[in-house]
Amino acid sequence: MAHSNNNNPNILSPHIAPMATYLKVAGALFALTFLTVIAHQFKAQLGMFASAVAFLIALIKASLVVLWFMHLKDDNNMNRAIFGSAFAFLFLLWVLTELDIITRVFESSPL
């Protein structure tokens, strides 16, 4: 007599998504990469916001990869919290980097 393992939480089930979903996500990643190149062309006009724009685009691209290609959207809440904390620390790193750049005092050498 065969037993059904559908209700067993220890059995992993594959995360199957339609190919159209993967193509849409890949298209979005290509578009965001193109947007990154365009944003770099306007680096002088963006001024101090250039790094913020670059980090925002990178965050969106990383989120797409993590959610769809790494199947985090189908995973449990503990893994989501772990990945979320990684993004929180990335944001903290960005804030500290920006504070360092903003608070620098440039001195000219008398030599």
Reported confidence tier of residue 110, pLDDT bands at 50, 70, 90: confident
Task: State the burial class of residue 47 (Cβ atoms within 10 Å of its Cβ: 0-12, 13-18, 19+).
Answer: exposed
- Summarised one tens digit per residue, pLDDT across range 6-17 is 566 666 666 678
Residue 64: per-residue pLDDT: 94
Reported confidence tier of residue 55, pLDDT bands at 50, 70, 90: confident
Give the domain ranges of the chain: 19-101
Taking residues 89-93, report their average pLDDT. 90
Distant-in-sequence, close-in-space partners of 21: CB < 8 Å, separation ≥ 6? 68
| Rg, Å, the chain Cα set | 21
The pTM of the full predicted model, rounded to 2 decimals, is: 0.67
Residue 12: per-residue pLDDT: 64
